[in-house]
Structure 1
Amino acid sequence: MTTNDDVAGQNSLQMTANLEKIEALSERLVKAVSGKAKSNPALSGPNQELFSNAMTSYMQEMIENPAKVFEHQAAYWGKSIKHYVEAQQVLAKGKLEAPTDTYQNDRRFSNPLWNTHPYFNFVKQQYLINSDAVKQTLEDAVDLDPKEKQRLTYFSQQIIDMMAPTNFLGTNPDALEKAVATEGQSLLDGLENLVGDLEANEGELVVKLADEKAFELGQNIATTPGKVIYRNKMIELIQYTPVTETVHETPIIMFPPWINKFYILDLKKQNSLIKWITEQGYCLFVVSWINPDDSYADVGLEDYIDDGFLTAIQEVKAITGQKQVNCIGYCIAGTTLCLTLSLLKKRGDKSIKSATFFTALTDFSDQGEFTPFLQNDFIDGIEEEVNDKGLLPSYIMGRTFSFLRSNDLVYTPAIKSYMMGEAPPAFDLLYWNGDGANLPGKMAVQYLRGLCQSNDFAEGGFELMGETLSLKDVDTPLCSIACETDHIAAWKDCYRGVQQMGSKSKTFIVSQSGHIAGIVNPPSKDKYGHFTNTDMSLAPSAWFEGAEFTKGSWWPRWESWIKARSGKKIAALQPGDSEHPVLGDAPGTYVMLNARR
């Protein structure tokens, strides 16, 4: 018969054995970190001038309005002391309880112990008191340039988020409870996950968000049938197999963003826009971009237009025998589709019959949440990076996007993986999110300097390919879909760009949700609705106030729009012809390059 002491002894031995394994993992950890390439500090935070200006502003405020500064300090001290006294008073009653807690709505503190246990509750409340004090100080900084204040607010919030007690083992009840329940196995598994992520990314800490072994392109995602019928140094052109006997005569070419892979539009059968378009009776082509290496250092936006957009249009016209095509551009590819339309206008080329834009920015006068990253010190650092490596590595862009939502995309996954020892979920969207692509050095600088920083396309003209390209040149019938909570391409900024385009036929739709979920929104889910308003002369806020809300996906509304611009029905064409032999099955080979499989 086993006694309680025997069980306790066995558990203790198991925990000791598990902890001893950490020594071997620690050696791997040191080796992985030591192999990390030297990083450019400009890509990790602002230069010292920003903090110097902030300190100068704070000191100036102390001199000019000392009562206000002391009032804030006194309020912070008062809250902290009151919090301490209340905690002591509760403990003095001989009960293991927490004082009254007014902070109840933060998802990070969902474990009941944050509210009931005096230790965890004290740590949580004091952290939130500290956070509020920092935020209040920033709000009251009156002498800072607005952009500097926005940057300081962003980077201060990063520090606040990083210092959350949930991010540390000793102050995370979930992690501690699991460590005890598993005799330390969860900590061992977590360290294994940490070391594995470091080894997989050459010493860079990139938190794995999804189980990469759960997905295989062409097998359980990106499975819509099609053929690669053209390939050059920039693109593979995929012609999707028709599923209807007849199709509309005007073909559709979809240009996805090249920051990520195209299969966001073909994740699985239930939410594949690519599959849905073919089912509606359209001849669909999709561009799959190359994932460039350092040999693409001198590739610029002109190459994406010439060898990507213009070549795809030329080949699709040739294979279908049509004089015009309908084009879709998503995100940065939507921005570049606009550049292409301006260029074709200058050349008198009417190959594009209509244009659809998904979350596409063309007016960068308001840089929104990207303001912290679009100032000279950060862009200077990117220029140094691309001059050294020839490209902007995918993890830098991925890290930038992730830290815009750091609690959801950095710290919470890190806690689950590294402290709880959990395997990442088999989630197709997160798998795609981690399958980024590099950016050629020249193209990255052109985009960041000429479009984002200088806003040349909307203000004065963007010099490219021997022409001065301008938004007002875009006179093709267009439909733009933006997303209500998009933090990458805010709908108001998308709207301002469309307002400046020269087209007499404009349709603007705002889908509920964000940059991805608002676009990948199939009718079958009946999840997110959309807003429409035909009056494009209004300011963004007035447009939205007067917009009509429609429940359900925008896809059917857009299909009605594109149908009116797609011509009569003709017999469906199978992929390829004598001039375009089939080079392989969809999703092709370019989508596989540098993918972590």
Structure 2
Amino acid sequence: MAVRDVSDTPRDPVLNYIVDNPEEFAKNLTVMLGHANEAIAAYVAPMHQGEIKNDRTDEIAEWIRTLSRVTHYWMADPARAFEAQARLAKDWTALYANAMRRMAGEDAEPVASPEPGDKRFTDKDWSAVQFFDFIKQGYLITTRWAQSLVDDTDDLDEHTRAKAAFYVKQLSAALSPSNFIFTNPELLRETASRSGENLALGMKMLAEDVARGKGELRLRQSDPNKFEVGVNVAVTPGDVIAENRVAQLIQYQAATKEVAKEPIFIVPPWINKFYILDLNSEKSMIRWLTQQGHTVFVLSWVNPDEALAHHDFVSYMREGILWGLDHVLKAAKTDKTDIVGYCVGGTLLAMTLAYMERMGDKRINTATFLTAQIDFTHAGDLKIFVDRDQLAALERKMDQKGYLEGSSMATAFNMLRANDLIWPYVVNNYIKGKDPFPFDLLFWNSDATRMPAANHKFYLRNFYLKNLFAKGELEVDGIKLSPANINVPVFNVATKEDHIAPALSVYTGNKLLGGEAKFVLTGSGHIAGIVNPPDKNKYQVWVDGDDSGTLERWMDTAREVKGSWWPLWDRWLTEHRSGETVPGRPPGGGVYNSIEAAPGRYVRMRY
């Protein structure tokens, strides 16, 4: 009897989704359940030990209250309710008709397609297999309909509309069929081909991450074992030359025989750790500055506990910037420095510069702001978290411990780009069971820091909520401060795709400054636009636009330069300096002894 050769017979695509080894699959499911018990135990352990877990009640109530306003608008009027239902039914009817034509072997154009750049539906079976294609289009139809309801709700103020849109976006991201095994062809194939081993490994990783977060999921975006601060990140040579309870001051070794007389003093944000500016030898802005003949000092903020609960913005000004400035000038043996503020460090710097001007303090030569907001009228997506009710709830939470957990801010930042920074890692780690790719930037992103309660309250209420500094109504020591008090030359960098400190917000603040203020716009976002070494030749910079009108007018008239903004800044610094040079300065300058090698122990503090 002849045997049919099936080697060239096309494999039925359905077989890709069937488990070949049911016995092995059952074993892996048993292992998975064991790790699931470990995850549950790690979740409840802090409660058994009497530790306070993050209470999400206020957040959930805010979601319900906001989305209920949208629901009420559409349901209160029968005509509107019918219109909304008809709108959704129309697209679903078209999808159903499309599916019938396709089942009959006819060509059918999709009713809904993913947006360009949406990486969730790149697997070919999202289109090739009708089941997955139907689910994908149904999801897109429904989520876009939900977003349109928010957009078309007439009786919402803009803040509430922004919150509602954000919440719908989060729900849409969470409910995407790409996040579930049985509705994602790639995950279903992976589970079948590995007989569920991926699920066992993923649940093990989930249990580890809940335990690492002490009852809260600490999502790993990079392999945490591949990087160590001071070993392969934050490695530019230098020394801690001074410290107090708020910060350490690092001075880096000179890389040239001669250096500019005026040093550079960097004030990073305390929401994250300073080594974003010193990731590695190729990406380090700090190392690059020393190679250009600059003496570089950096504040390394402490990762606080309850002992700093009452340290507010003014405390950080006094014990951070002003304290650091005293030591910088003594160590450098000079009377002026160039100073840099990044993100919220730049906001603090602006307040400090205004205060120094009012006090007659002339020790600053120039100031550089990196994605720093001064006027919060057009603040970024984080503003959706700031209103009186939400602030009151947040303050109650902070008062329980005296600080805001770093994970809270990290989660908020990640939620701004949930489809890039949350759900791909949930899928990769906990369903595919794969370790994330080692990436220094994402390792830094997960190295979260706490914020003292008083500091964060001051920042959110006086800047985000009331915008007092931009109005000239922020009081320190009974003195009203304004951006107009800042008269030193300013180099002000915004990034084009920034969701945290939008270019419009930075540009608006720049127009309020009292002296020479050069606005510069660079490509990419809040981090990549700043950490952009010249050797990479990435992105572009826009300069010298007409700043007499709108940002759009400035963009239309600006000159575009390929590559990094760093060399432009270096030339600007040179133009605004005395031109004098001195021999390369050793850390401490003979005035202060080394406390420890850079990057110091403050930046290594993790909770």
Query: What is the TM-score with the length of structure 2 in the denominator?
Result: 0.92
Tell me how far 1:536 sits from its aligned partner.
2.5
Aligned partner of 2:3 in structure 1 is none
What does residue 31 of structure 1 align with?
A: 41
The match for 1:258 among 270, 295, 305 is: 270
1:351 has 2:343 as partner: no
1:54 to 56, 60, 70: 70
* Alignment partner of 1:416 is 2:428: yes
Query: Once structures 1 and 2 are overlaid, which stretch shifts more, 46-55 or 155-164?
Result: 46-55
- Give the Cα separation in 2 of the matches to 1:535 and 1:89: 56
Distance in structure 2 (CA, Å) of the matches to 1:325 and 1:168: 55
Q: CA deviation at 1:532?
A: 0.8
Show CA shifts across 1:328-374 (max 9, x none).
00000001100000110111000111100000001011233123201
| Separation in 2, partners of 1:475, 1:167 | 52
Q: Distance in 1 between matches of 2:225 and 2:24?
A: 30
- CA distance in 2 between counterparts of 1:532 and 1:151 reads 34
More displaced, 252-261 or 574-583? 574-583
C-alpha distance in 2, partners of 1:573/1:44? Answer: 54
- Give CA-to-partner distance per residue, 1:365-419, whole Å, 9 cap, x none: 1233123201122211110011111001101101111101011011111111111
**Counterpart for residue 544 of structure 1:** 555
2: distance between equivalents of 1:213 and 1:468? 48
How much has 1:53 moved relative to structure 2? Answer: 2.9
| Contact kept? 2:267, 2:342, Cα under 8 Å | yes
2:406 to 382, 394, 405: 394
One-letter amino acid of the structure 1 residue matched with residue 28 of structure 2: N
- Tell me which residue corresponds to 1:231: 243
CA distance in 2, matches of 1:377, 1:415: 34
2:74 and 2:84 in contact (8 A); partners too: no
Structure 2 portions without partners, runs of 5+: 1-17, 47-52
Q: Label 1:51 to 1:266 Cα distance change in 2 as closer, same or farther (>3 A).
A: same
Correspondence for 2:564 among 546, 553, 571: 553
Q: Aligned partners of 1:44, 1:563: CA distance in 2, in Å?
A: 52
Q: Distance in 1 between matches of 2:235 and 2:169?
A: 41
Paired amino acid for 2:139: Y
Alpha-carbon distance in 2 for matches of 1:553, 1:306:
33
Spell out, residue by residue over 1:538-597, the C-alpha distance to the aligned partner (whole angstroms, 9 max, x if none): 2111111111111111101100011123331111111124541111111111000116xx
Aligned match of 2:280? 268
Indicate how the Cα distance of structure 1 residues 531 and 578 shifts in structure 2: closer, same or farther if over 3 A, else same: closer
Q: Percent identity?
A: 33
Which SS does the other structure have where 1:500 is aligned? coil
Tell me, in whole angstroms, the C-alpha distance in 2 between the residues paired with 1:44 and 1:244: 56
Corresponding residue for residue 462 of structure 2 = 450
Any residues of structure 2 matched to 1:414-493 within 5 Å, and which? 414-493=426-505
Q: Which moved more, 1:579-588 or 1:457-466?
A: 457-466
Aligned to 1:126: 138
The answer to whether the aligner puts 1:533 opposite 2:544 as a matched pair is yes
Residue pair 1:266, 1:274 contacting (<8 A) in 2 also: yes
**Greater Cα offset, 140-149 or 98-107:** 98-107
Aligned residues: 581
C-alpha deviation, 1:44, in angstroms: 5.1
In structure 2, what is the Cα distance between the partners aligned to 1:585 and 1:570?
A: 24
- The answer as to whether partners of 1:98 and 1:116 remain within 8 angstroms in 2 is no
Q: What is the alpha-carbon distance in structure 2 between the residues aligned to residue 206 and residue 325 of structure 1?
A: 40
**Offset of 1:58 from its aligned partner?**
2.3
Counterparts of 2:65 and 2:33, CA distance in 1: 42
Are 1:294 and 2:306 counterparts? yes
- Within the alignment, does 1:177 sit opposite 2:193 as a pair? no
2:94 maps to amino acid = K
AA aligned opposite 2:421: L
One-letter amino acid of the structure 1 residue matched with residue 572 of structure 2: W
Give the counterpart letter for 1:116 in structure 2: A
Which residue identity does 2:43 align to in structure 1?
Answer: V
Maintained 8 Å contact 1:471/1:501: yes
- Cα deviations by residue, 1:279-316 (Å, 9 ceiling, x for unpaired): 00011111111000111101111111111100111011
CA-to-aligned-CA distance 1:425-464 (integer Å, 9 cap, x gap): 1100000000011000000000000111000000142112
CA contact (8 A) 2:379 2:500 kept: no
**TM-score, with length taken from structure 1:** 0.94
Distance 2:65 2:113 in 1: 35
Q: Compute the RMSD of aligned alpha carbons.
A: 1.9
Instruction: Between 506-515 and 563-572, report the one with greater CA deviation.
Output: 563-572
Partner of 1:5: none
The 8 Å contact of residues 45 and 155 in structure 1, kept in 2 or not, is answered as: no
Say if 1:43 and 1:382, in contact at 8 Å, map to a contact too. no
Q: 1:378 corresponds to which letter in structure 2?
A: Q
